[in-house]
Amino acid sequence: MGLIKEIDFGTPASTSETMVTLMVDGREITVPEGTSVMRASMDAGIAIPKLCATDMVDAFGSCRLCMVEIEGMRGTPASCTTPVRDGMVVTTQNGKLKKLRRGVMELYISDHPLDCLTCAANGDCELQDMAGAVGLRDVRYGYDGANHVKPTVPNLRGAATAQPQYIPAADAATEACGEAHNPLFMSKDESNPYFTYDPSKCIACSRCVRACEEVQGTFALTMEGRGFESRISAGMGEDFLNSECVSCGACVQACPTATLQEKSVIEIGQPEHSVVTTCAYCGVGCSFKAEMRGEELVRMVPYKDGKANRGHSCVKGRFAYGYASHSDRILKPMIREKITDPWQEVSWEEALTYTAQKFRQLQADHGRASIGGITSSRCTNEETYLVQKLIRSGFGNNNVDTCARVCHSPTGYGLKTTFGTSAGTQDFDSVEHTDVVIVIGANPTDGHPVFGSRLKKRLRQGAKLIVIDPRRIDLVKTPHVEAAYHLPLMPGTNVAVLTAIAHVIVTEGLADEAFIRERCDWDEFADWAEFVADPKHSPEATALLTNVPADDLRAAARLFATGGNGAIYYGLGVTEHSQGSTTVMAIANLAMATGNIGRKGVGVNPLRGQNNVQGACDMGSFPHELPGYRHVSDADTRAIFEGIWGTKIDDEPGLRIPNMLDAAVEGTFKGIYIQGEDILQSDPDTKHVAAGLAAMECVVVHDLFLNETANYAHVFLPGSTFLEKDGTFTNAERRINRVRKVMTPKNGYADWEVTLNLANAMGCGWTYSHPSEIMDEIAATTPSFSGVNYAMLEERGSIQWPCNEAKPDGSPIMHVDGFVRGKGKFIRTEYVATDERTGPRFPLLLTTGRILSQYNVGAQTRRTANVAWHAEDLLEIHPHDAENRGIRDGDFVKLASRSGETTLRATVTDRVAPGVIYTTFHHPETQANVITTDYSDWATNCPEYKVTAVQVSLSNGQTDWQRDYQAQADLSRRILPRVEAAE
Amino acid sequence: MHATQSDLDARTAEIVKQYQSLEGPLLPILNALQAEFGYVPKSVLPDVAAALNISRAEIHGVVSFYHDYRDHPAGEHVIKVCRAEACQAAGGEAMSARLLSLLGIDWHGTTANGKVTVEPAYCLGLCACAPALFVDGAPIGRVSADRVDILVAEVAS
């Protein structure tokens, strides 16, 4: 187990299918046309010296180290910028090239600090490597000339305006009289919490600038000045933290020296081994190398072979792992009789026995169905599978639900109904082939940043973008990307807008009739077409309620229908509505009507929120479905599980989360096992959640931290982080990625072991010794996973389900030869306005979302240095609405709805339309869900987070609820240490 | 006669509008800004970047690359003295030393009365009549010591 050193081919791969054969150093090499000579050589194992080239960005040709000789070409061309040609004969090393390269290196080193032994990049420095590669033995120019290295220069003749670079060294030696500031020297910028910028070590290769532009797409960096004065600058010469830099780390990764260096490496030193694992933040599922020294995590480096992220990362996955070792983490189990008692630390055995007895007693007193559980989309597939198994076979009921209830349950319902599979249709690579993109109810640059960067790259190549969102998200206009159309609809009118788009497509004859006739049920289409063609669905008729200009909507519809490969990406702005499922089906209708399903570059792409929300749904976390989305009423499916589990499975669906809470208030639901979810903060109508939890007799919270839900818990089981366990996560593209244990669980057990021990304390008699055995059981019971096992994941890196006998290589794209359900199903999507209406008391519509640096309820990111970017939730309000209420930027305001009220700070911006306000929900102090209502999706109960009628007014302090809650929380978090039994 | 920020913003918006439709509009816009204000005010650059949909960093990279763009107003008259090879060979260094000492300033400096700024240039394309300089954009060749004296007398008072 050593450090994984990925090969840097110097320039990106060519996708050409035409092959070219050339000779390099007497070896015949065949590569795709368009490959650089540098990459072709590296393909054959010949590493040409280089500094400014790296395969994450295009060739630049500035360092002049990669020169080669090519027969028939004059001079010594740069191998990075020279494409291969058939029959080319290349020499990468001879006397002339050696001399030239040494000369170049001498110039670099004459202006570079010679502090290699104390430099943080020591052991990972390409400049050092290249000095070695070219055999640098001497620097003829010396180190005393003009430089960026030394803070001071000799002060000559007292002349303040002296230009030291033009003064001969001999003069300096004889006439120096003291020291003066070296105008070329700049001190280190340590403003970013995660990395430093040391200009004295910069070799001006521009790799960071190009990574920021080409990979991340933020364009936050530039080369300032010219000639010897050139240096990297963030923004307009400000520090990194105050520039547009989003701290994705692409520049740090690209830097060949210690100029941009992780603070963790400066503090710890170079790692000695690495383990490839999967990020535990969002549904993109980026692959990372956890670079370790012993059991200490030195840094997370995005893995180029990761098929979701292709070597890129965002600030969360790359840097925000500090929560894993945060002092707030609870590492010892705790119990208490009443939620008003302080916590008592106990042994694992005592905690588990206590829980098992409580649960069994509750079932004895109140019936088998009086307890239940919630699986976690933050945990692995194996852990989720175990929790639902514990509930179904151990508790003997189907009272299991998951956080997908409050996010993408409408996706599951809508796509299963129309296409036959509860998942997105594409892989992320598909975006590289798309021509027109609709982004609706999603904010990829903040919520799914690595996908956001891949999308922006495609948009810069010329793909067109349509944004449907009440708010002007960054994608609407950001450097080098501009949406062709932004349809700023009123929150809650998604269905009306999508149906109006369908109206234009159908009435203007833009539907793809050949596709529909072949792949869908024609009669159903005809029925749907008749429905959408009704003039009441026209953009002109619906504009009144949607606020979307009819001309823009018509133009957008035409663009999507006629612009080539059309792909739709959507997020919670689609699902978290009373018509969430209808909206998903309206999206599916649009994709089918325009023939945009079943190949690269098209499709319906839900951007899943949690790292493993897709997996949690796949693993049977819903009360009505066993793993693989098979209904509990299906006797054949039950028989499969009953055979392996040796227990009877209830054939009636269990309770959903909101039903569990209702039943608790009514007194029929008494106990719950919650793994890795903070329902008090994340679920709607906080006061109702609190009442439900308070009414239960045994609330078991299994988590990293004493989260808000734990304020109502009787048992706390410490959780483990993704760094402390083996398992798999399934991302938004159905990709099953391995999670690998890189350190011993600080709490003693990985989460799957805790569930296992709890099950056994309840008498289940389970015997798993490794998560791979759980995966084997999943494969044995679930047809879409039947080909999956750990040996195969080890070999392939990852696989996209379905993976079975019919699809042994997995399924990057779904519905290629036909829909899973047979014929694609068109469904009428009648717009029904939500019951949540504005009125004189609550005249504004509140919608919610996320910000780049924070993640969901913030339990993790708030415990990292990411708070440097977003320390509190802010309320965005249009200048017009702000002025009417006398609110200025930064004012403390009260936000009130029919459900409750809270306070937070306002920021005045025209990102939101008049009448619409927006906030994030990352901070428990704000408790945005005190405001949200208990309206929900008609099909799945997914809460209507995205529309709440509210009023905003100036405030001078917290609300009573905020104060009472804080007092209760403080009281609830008291911990008494464990009393050791007398020997 | 200090322009307020809103004056700068308003005039910048007009200039951007005038050149925005060109292919590669950035340099024409920056040239026009310098012609208008005598320098390229840093405070208007974010607006220009937004209008062209490029980043602030990119525009900063371009402005800082060209020495010709000033970040503060110049004197009433701007003299650009050629310091390239042909002019040096024809006594340009002595000529410029005389010019600077008569004005009492260094390169890039402006006289205390705000009348004259002297900037170096590297080849004005007037090698045939070296040493050469520009006064407010007008070329003057074969600049002898006498001519320097006349020039200073004309522009500096």
CATH of the domain at A479: 3.40.228.10
Tally the domains of chain A. Answer: 5
Instruction: Note the pLDDT tens digit of each residue in A856-898.
Output: 888 899 999 999 998 889 999 999 999 999 999 999 999 999 9
Q: Do A545 and A621 share a domain, yes or no?
A: no
On whether both A416 and A400 belong to a single domain, the answer is: no
Nearest-angstrom CA–CA distance, A667 and A670: 7
- Residue A291 located in a structural domain: no
Amino acid A422: pLDDT:
87
Run of H or E residues at B103: helix B92-103
Six-digit token string for A332:
């010892």
Selecting from A161, A224, A479 the residue whose C-beta is nearest the C-beta of B60 gives A224
Q: Do A620 and A591 share a structural domain?
A: no
User: Which helix (H) or strand (E) segment is A39 a member of?
Assistant: helix A37-43
pLDDT at site A156: 57
Task: Please tell me the distance in Å from B107's CA to the nearest CA on chain A.
Answer: 10
Smallest Cα distance from B45 to chain A, Å: 9
Q: Which pLDDT band holds residue A177 (cuts at 50, 70, 90)?
A: low
**Residue A97, pLDDT above cutoff 50:** yes
**Do the domain assignments include residue A977?**
no
SS3 at position A905? strand
* Chain A residues near residue B83 by CB distance under 8 angstroms: none
User: Do A919 and A947 belong together in one domain?
Assistant: yes
Q: Which of the residues B43, B47, B56 would you substitute to probe the A interface, choosing the one with the greatest number of A C-beta atoms within 10 Å?
A: B56
**What's the CATH code of the domain at A627?**
3.40.50.740
pLDDT score at A167: 41
Are residues B57 and A225, on separate chains, in Cβ contact within 8 Å? no
| CB contact B58 to A (< 8 Å) | yes
Res A176 pLDDT > 70? no
Q: The CATH number of the domain where A61 resides is what? A: 3.10.20.740
On average, the pLDDT of chain A sits at 93
What are the CA-CA distances from residue B111 to residues B26, B71, B151 (Å)? 31, 17, 14
* Shared domain check, A628 and A738: yes
> Binding residue per annotation — B127?
yes
Contact flag B64-A233 (C-beta cutoff 8 Å): yes
Coil, helix or strand at residue A169: helix
B8 touching A (Cβ < 8 Å): no
Residue A374 lies in a domain: yes
Rounded-to-integer distance, Cα A374 and Cα A676, Å: 8
Token couple for A595: 């023939």
Tokens of A291: 């670079």
Considering only CB atoms, B57 lies closest to which of A226, A236, A478, namely: A236
User: What pLDDT score was predicted for residue A899?
Assistant: 87
> A756 in a domain, yes or no?
yes
Same domain as A730, residue A595: no
**pLDDT value of residue A624:** 95
Measured between CB atoms, does A219 come within 8 Å of chain B? yes
A89 and A176 within one domain:
no
What pLDDT is stored for residue A172 in this prediction?
Answer: 46
The model's pLDDT over A381-411, given as tens digits with 9 standing for 90+, comes to 999 999 999 999 999 999 999 988 888 889 9
Residue the block writes with tokens 């929560």: A323
pLDDT of A170 above 50: no
Where is average pLDDT lowest: A318-322, A598-602, A896-900?
Answer: A896-900
Beta strands in A740-873 (DSSP E): 798-800, 844-849
In our burial notation (b when 16+ CB lie closer than 10 A, e otherwise), range A197-220 reads bbbbbbbbbbbbbbbbbbbbbbbb
Give yes or no: residues A758 and A849 share one domain. Answer: no
User: Does B64 contact A477 at a Cβ distance shorter than 8 Å?
Assistant: no
Residues from chain B that touch A243, judged by Cβ atoms under 8 A, are 56-57
Q: Do the Cβ atoms of A789 and A774 come closer than 8 Å?
A: no
The residue out of A133, A166, A193 marking a domain boundary is A133
Q: Are A906 and A890 contacting, i.e. CB atoms less than 8 angstroms apart?
A: yes
- DSSP strand pairing (A371-375 vs A400-402): parallel
Q: Name the minimum distance, in Å, from the CA of A236 to any CA of chain B.
A: 5
A824-867 pLDDT, tens digit each: 999 999 999 988 889 999 999 999 888 888 888 888 999 999 99
User: What is the structure's pLDDT at A978?
Assistant: 80
Find out whether A706 and A680 touch, Cβ atoms under 8 Å. no
Using pLDDT thresholds of 50, 70 and 90, give the confidence band for residue A983: very low
pLDDT over 80 at A130, yes or no: yes
Q: What is the domain range of residue A952?
A: 844-971
Answer for the pair A670, A664: CB distance below 8 angstroms, yes or no: yes
Name the nearest CA neighbour of A588 among A657, A506, A642, A520.
A520
> What pLDDT does residue A404 have?
85
DSSP secondary structure of A73-113:
S-S--BTTT-B--TT-EEE---HHHHHHHHHHHHHHHHTS-
pLDDT for A871: 86
Compute CA distances A739 → A90, A300, A335, A419, A610, whole Å: 43, 13, 30, 30, 15
- Given a cut of 80, whether residue A174 has pLDDT beyond it is no
**Given CB atoms, is B57 within the 8 Å cutoff of chain A?**
yes
Q: Which of B57, B64, B65 is opposite residue A235, by nearest beta carbon?
A: B57
- The answer on A528 and A632 residing in a single domain is no
What is the C-alpha to C-alpha distance for residues A878 and A361, in angstroms, rounded to an integer? Answer: 55
A24-54: pLDDT as tens digits: 999 999 999 999 999 999 999 999 999 999 9
- How far is residue A292's CA from residue A447's CA, in Å, rounded to a whole number? 28
With respect to residue A829, please indicate whether it lies within any of the assigned structural domains: no
What value of ipTM does the predicted structure carry? 0.91
Query: From start to end of A130-199, where are the E strands?
Result: 152-156, 176-181, 195-197
Do residue A226 and residue B67 have CB atoms under 8 angstroms apart? Answer: yes
Yes or no: say if A725 and A745 are a contact pair by the CB < 8 Å rule. Answer: yes
CA-to-CA separations, A513 to A268, A415, A436, A595, A827, in angstroms, rounded: 62, 21, 19, 8, 17
Same domain, A543 and A656: no
pLDDT for residue A283 is more than 70: yes
Residues A701-737 have pLDDT tens digits of 999 999 999 999 999 999 999 999 999 999 999 999 9
- A397 vs A372: CA distance, rounded Å: 8
Q: Confirm or reject contact between A465 and chain B (CB < 8 A).
A: no
Our CA-based measurement puts residue A532 at a distance from the nearest CA of chain B, in whole angstroms, of: 37
What would the mean pLDDT of A811-833 be, rounded to a whole number? 93
Q: Residues 238 to 267 of A: which have CB under 8 A from any B CB?
A: 243-244
| The residue to which tokens 């608790």 are assigned | A664
For residue A288, pLDDT over 70 is answered with yes
From chain B residues 25-44, the ones with a CB under 8 A of any chain A CB are 42
For residues A133-146, give the mean pLDDT.
92
**What is the pTM assigned to this prediction?**
0.93
Contact of A956 with chain B, judged by CB distance below 8 Å, is answered with no
Which whole number is the average pLDDT over A132-161? 82
> What share of chain A in percent tops pLDDT 90?
85
Q: Of B42, B55, B64, which has the smallest distance from its Cβ to A224's Cβ? A: B64
Q: Can you tell me the distance from the alpha carbon of A619 to that of A615, in angstroms, rounded to the nearest whole number?
A: 6
Domain boundary among A71, A100, A133: A133
pLDDT, residue A979, reads 72
Give the A:B interface size as CB pairs under 8 Å. Answer: 58
Cα A522 to Cα A118: distance, rounded to the nearest angstrom: 72
Lookup result for tokens 């025209």: A910
Cα–Cα distance measured from residue A251 to residue A893, given in angstroms and rounded to the nearest whole number: 39
Do A747 and A729 belong together in one domain? Answer: yes
Is B129 marked as binding a ligand? Answer: no
Angle (CA) A498-A504-A505 rounded to 5° is 90
Cβ atoms of A408 and A608 within 8 Å: the answer is yes
B56 vs A235, A477, A482: nearest CB: A235
How large is the angle between the packed helices A771-781 and A381-389, nearest 10 degrees?
A: 70
CATH code of A930's domain? 2.40.40.20
- A161 touches B: beta carbon within 8 Å: yes
> Is B65 touching A (CB cutoff 8 A)?
yes
Centroid of chain to Cα A16: 31
pLDDT at B135: 95
Is B54 in the A-facing interface, judged by CB distances under 8 Å?
Answer: yes
DSSP bridge partners of A195: A262
Q: Are residues A505 and A579 in the same domain?
A: yes
Give the model confidence (pLDDT) of A98-116 as tens digits: 999 999 999 999 999 999 9
Predicted local confidence at residue A980, as pLDDT: 64
DSSP-derived secondary structure for A250-301: HHHHH-SSSSEEEHHHHHH---SEEEEEE-SSBTT--EEEEEEETTEEEEEE
pLDDT (average), residues A777-794: 95
Locus of tokens 């987070």: A945
Residue A574 belongs to some domain of the structure: yes
> Sorting pLDDT into bands at 50, 70 and 90, what band is A154?
confident
For residue A446, with 0-12 CB atoms within 10 Å meaning exposed, 13-18 middle and 19 or more buried, which class applies?
buried
Residue B61 forms contact with A (CB below 8 Å): yes
Determine, for residues A219 and B55 on separate chains, whether the beta-carbon distance falls below 8 Å. Answer: yes
Within-domain flag for A300 = no
pLDDT tens sequence for chain B (157 residues): 467 889 999 999 999 999 999 999 999 999 999 999 999 999 999 999 999 999 999 999 999 999 899 999 999 999 999 999 999 999 999 999 999 999 999 999 999 999 999 999 999 999 999 999 999 999 999 998 889 999 999 988 7
Nearest to A236 among B54, B56, B66 (CB): B56
Q: Decide if A342 is inside a domain.
A: yes
Q: From A606, A625, A656, give the residue that closes a domain.
A: A606
The pLDDT > 70 percentage for chain A reads: 97
**Can you point out the beta strands (E) in A114-162?**
152-156
Interface test with A, best of B55, B66, B93 (most A CBs within 10 A): B55
CB contact under 8 A, A233 and B58: no
